[in-house]
């Protein structure tokens, strides 16, 4: 019999893979947003026009983000207003889109705020597995077969419309993270879940719950861990050519304009 303690320990390799890929992806996406705005500012020299031009390459992702909020609100019976796709500068930040949602309880507000991240991940995974056939690349990464990793990446470059699909992933991945307003209700929900967990444990039911659900939980956790790690890695690989393009455009504009953006 496999102990519940053993089942709750995640696969070390997958966890390290996820942690490394996630940290790199967050860093790269933060860089993309800053420097994409920098390129547009160098191009036009006006902060308001810059906000509009900055949003244009990300428009498919912005539309999906706001539609995800609206769709989640519809499913949860929460009324929404008219979707706005007009970028607005708010202090040092740019609000790329907005959908007004009526005030509701923290659970539904949290789910509505989380919707773009869930749907964005689903879109990236669907494109990855249905268009790019990520299964073979995943197997090569899991086994550390770097020769086959290179072969799979070269195969993906030959897929029809590969750059169009790559652009869709770029736009979706760089707009799916919850905004500050999307995360407002999260602390209350997290606190509630922690309190429920503590009450279950204090009542002496913790070990029994773990024992009864350990096998299924471990399987689901392992699957989710692998998919998220693969999604982060794939998105990171797709983002890199766009990073190079943004960096090249920035350097060329700096030479032409004789100025540079301080970040």
In a domain, 73, yes or no: yes
Q: Which residue shows structure tokens 């991945």?
A: 173
CA distance 56 to 78: 29
The model carries a pTM of 0.80
HSE of 110, CA atoms in CB hemisphere, 13 A? 12
In a domain, 122, yes or no: yes
pLDDT one-digit tens code per residue, 150-186 = 888 899 889 999 999 999 999 999 998 877 666 665 5
pLDDT of res. 1: 39
In a domain, 214, yes or no: yes
In a domain, 263, yes or no: no
In a domain, 1, yes or no: no
Total count of domains within the chain: 1
pLDDT one-digit tens code per residue, 108-121 = 888 888 889 889 98
61 or 186, which is more confident: 61
In a domain, 91, yes or no: yes
pLDDT of res. 7: 41
In a domain, 262, yes or no: no
Residue 18 contacts residue 141 (beta carbons within 8 Å): no
List the domain range (segments joined by +) for residue 150. 8-257
Task: pLDDT band for 6, please (50, 70, 90 cuts).
Answer: very low
For the chain, give the mean pLDDT: 81
* Most confident of the ranges 78-82, 200-204, 207-211: 78-82
């Amino acid at each position: 019999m496999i102990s519940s303690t053993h089942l709750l320990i995640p696969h070390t390799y997958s966890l390290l893979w996820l942690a490394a890929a996630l940290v790199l992806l967050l860093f790269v996406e933060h860089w993309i947003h800053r420097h994409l705005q920098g390129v547009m500012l160098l191009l036009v020299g006006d902060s308001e026009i810059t906000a509009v031009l900055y949003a244009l390459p990300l428009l498919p992702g912005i539309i999906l983000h706001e539609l995800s909020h609206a769709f989640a609100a519809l499913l949860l019976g929460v009324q929404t207003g008219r979707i706005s796709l007009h970028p607005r500068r708010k202090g040092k930040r740019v609000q790329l889109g907005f959908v007004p949602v009526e005030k509701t309880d923290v659970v539904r507000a949290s789910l509505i705020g989380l919707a773009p991240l869930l749907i964005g991940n689903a879109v990236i995974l669907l494109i990855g597995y249905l268009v790019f056939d990520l299964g073979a690349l995943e197997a090569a990464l899991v086994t550390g077969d770097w020769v086959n990793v290179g072969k799979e990446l070269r195969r993906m470059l030959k897929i029809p419309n590969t750059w169009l699909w790559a652009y869709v992933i770029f736009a979706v991945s760089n707009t799916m993270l919850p905004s500050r307003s999307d995360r407002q209700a999260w602390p209350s929900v997290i606190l509630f879940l922690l309190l429920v967990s503590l009450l279950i444990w204090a009542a002496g039911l913790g070990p029994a719950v773990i024992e009864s659900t350990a096998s299924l939980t471990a399987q689901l956790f392992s699957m989710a861990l692998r998919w998220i790690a693969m999604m982060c890695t794939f998105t990171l690989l797709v983002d890199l050519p766009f990073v190079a393009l943004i960096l090249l455009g920035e350097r060329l504009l700096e030479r032409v304009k004789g100025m540079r953006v301080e970040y």
